[in-house]
A and B are shown apart, each in its own frame.
Chain A
Amino acid sequence: MTGDWDVAEECAQDAFALALERWQRDGIPRNPGAWLTTAARNRAIDRMRRAATGASKLQEVAVLSADHSRDSDQSGVGDDRLRLIFTCCHPALALEAQVALTLRTLVGLTTPEIARAFLVPEPTMSQRLVRAKRKIRNAGIPYRVPPAHLLPERTGAVLAVLYLLFNEGYAASAGADLVRQSLTDEAIRLARTLTELMPDEPEARALLALMLLHDARRAGRVDDAGDLVPLEEQDRSRWDRQTIDEGVELLDAALRRARPGPYQVQAAIAACHATAPDAEATDWAQIAALYGELSRMAPTPVVALNRAVAVAMAEGPEAGLALVDELEGSGALRDYHLLAATRADLLRRLARPAEAAVAYRQALDLAGTEAERRYLARRLAETERA
């Protein structure tokens, strides 16, 4: 490594940006990992030279790729990118800091994008990143692939990173496009590598299943104009059956290990949707029960919101609205557009158009992508006509 975290981070990002640009033009090189580390190293040298920090600093520019090839023998991690993610996910850092740092450093997401993925204000995220980098430097957290016996304890953070990465690609929080395919592809590729690496870890397998089950519905999710199509209106013949089958198979294999976890529950929910022949046939009672299970394992406001939606479908909008009100009363998710959008949708179903319109406007103000805003604007127009 370069011995200077900030420089190393910027160089890695530069290298990934360069890779995306180059690979789109020239195709993916035979050994992308080596290409990236070489590119990052060259960038580091450029930068050091430009900064004219003298011969001593240049000597610190240790060779990234050499470091990695040495460590790879201990851990058996075969993918350069994945190894770098593991390095960022050191247990001496808070879990959220690990995830944020990885997204910033390796995936090159911007601080606002990460803040949005975590639903925290930008200055909070920025401070969190600064603190994490400071600790890495001051506490002597090593930049290396953890040895095999330490890999399991680092898996939780890696799974969280991959899931956030996939989510950021699946519902991009900023920009004009709803889906950033390169991010979801990258997340799936990494999850696949992780599953091969840790065949006995059911949560890794379940995460891959979860991603595939979502990704299989990609073609039905956005219409020709690039607009978001809600699940119930999607043309299910456009879903990728082969990918759904693979996802269900992976989930079954994970469940057979009889060690339940939140990714297995989420994959099971995704499988309920993906295998329903049409929207009416969806087993909402089962989905609501699974969300109940999930909220016991991972009691987060977003899970509570999803549970409210499922309950509304299983028991009626009134029951769902009561849960949404409860969530709103807690003050969590105040700036989350999907809370307002859910509220709007339930009010519309309850034939309370005036209140629904207020909630749609609120959601519109908070939504981050053009496609989401267009969808909400269309719903608002329908509500106002009604």
Chain B
Amino acid sequence: MRYALLICGDEKGMEARSPEEASATLNEYLAFGEEMGKRGVLQGGERLRPTTDATTVRVRDGEVLTSDGPFAETKEQMGGFYLVDCKDLDEAIDVAAKIPGARDGSIEVRPIWEI
């Protein structure tokens, strides 16, 4: 079964990190990617630029409306995601718990709606 593991956290806190902390986090993600690659569950994943670089697009009555940033103000923002193929939810939870961001943010495990 395929799942999207959405990495949510406080991006302001991420930005406030020192270069040393940021590089330590990066190394943790690299190690995670290597481990999961070996395990054979990883199908893809990306880090996202912060919501300050985001644009929200909506179409209302045929008109394209664009606005700066995300629509909703929430405490946690999605900062990246992985696409994994796991045996079942238990394995997906196990993988999600190993994502470095799970320790200060949260990982939303969403089953892929296979069409």
Contact = CB atoms under 8 A, between A and B. Distances in A.
Interface of A: 90, 92, 138-142, 146, 150
Interface in B39-56: none
B96 to A, nearest CB: 11
A15 to B, nearest CB: 24
A140 B93 contact: no
Contacts of A139: 89, 109, 111
Interface residues of B, number: 11
B88 interface: yes
B24 interface: no
A140 B93 CA distance: 11
Interface of B: 1, 3, 86-90, 92-93, 109, 111
Classify the secondary structure of A's interface with B. Answer: loop
- For the complex of A and B, 9 pairs with smallest distance between CB atoms: A142-B88, A140-B1, A140-B89, A140-B88, A141-B89, A139-B111, A139-B89, A142-B90, A138-B111
Contacts of B87: 142
A92 B92 CA distance: 11
Contacts of B89: 90, 92, 139-142
Contacts of B111: 138-140
A374 B112 CA distance: 56
A92 B93 contact: yes
B102 to A, nearest CB: 15
Contacts of B109: 139
Given A90-B89, A138-B111, A140-B92, 18 more contacts: A92-B89, A139-B89, A139-B109, A139-B111, A140-B1, A140-B3, A140-B86, A140-B88, A140-B89, A140-B111, A141-B88, A141-B89, A141-B90, A142-B87, A142-B88, A142-B89, A142-B90, A150-B90
Contacts of B3: 140
A146 B1 CA distance: 18
B84 to A, nearest CB: 12
A299 B43 CA distance: 45
Nearest to A140: B1
A140 B4 CA distance: 13
Nearest to A90: B89
Nearest to B1: A140
18 contacts: A92-B89, A139-B89, A139-B109, A139-B111, A140-B1, A140-B3, A140-B86, A140-B88, A140-B89, A140-B92, A140-B111, A141-B88, A142-B87, A142-B88, A142-B89, A142-B90, A146-B90, A150-B90
Nearest to A141: B89
A121 B93 CA distance: 33
Contacts of B93: 92
Nearest to A150: B90
Between A142, A146, A150, the greatest number of chain B beta carbons within 10 A of the residue's beta carbon is seen for: A142
